Amino acid sequence: MSTLTNLKSNQAVNLSFSKEKMVIFMEDGREIGIPLEWFPRLRDASQEELENWRFIGNGEGIHWEDLDEDLLVSELVS
């Protein structure tokens, strides 16, 4: 008998960047690393532009106003 419960959530609660990747911190405790190389606008952005983001849809998406970029979290973690 398994005691593991399916706690997966597709809502992000925080975001950070290193030189080569974006890390999405999920509501359920997961940390997902995504290569910036996958997203040319993010890859070529300044640190200031990368840090100017906001969640949309209560953490279901991420929007960068300066870069005109939107990403759906569920598409990044599936």
Return the CATH class of domain 12-77.
alpha beta
Does the pTM surpass 0.75? The reply is: yes
For residue 6, pLDDT over 70 is answered with no
* Predicted pLDDT of residue 3: 57
Rounded Cα distance, 28 and 5, in Å: 11
54: exposed, middle or buried (C-beta count within 10 Å: 0-12, 13-18, 19+)?
Answer: exposed
Give the DSSP letter of residue 51. Answer: H
- pLDDT tens digits for range 14-29: 999 999 999 999 999 9
- Percent of the chain whose pLDDT exceeds 90: 83
Q: Per-domain residue ranges for the chain?
A: 12-77
Distance of CA 70 to the CA centre of its chain: 10
For residue 7, pLDDT over 70 is answered with no
Paired strand residues for 64: 53, 69
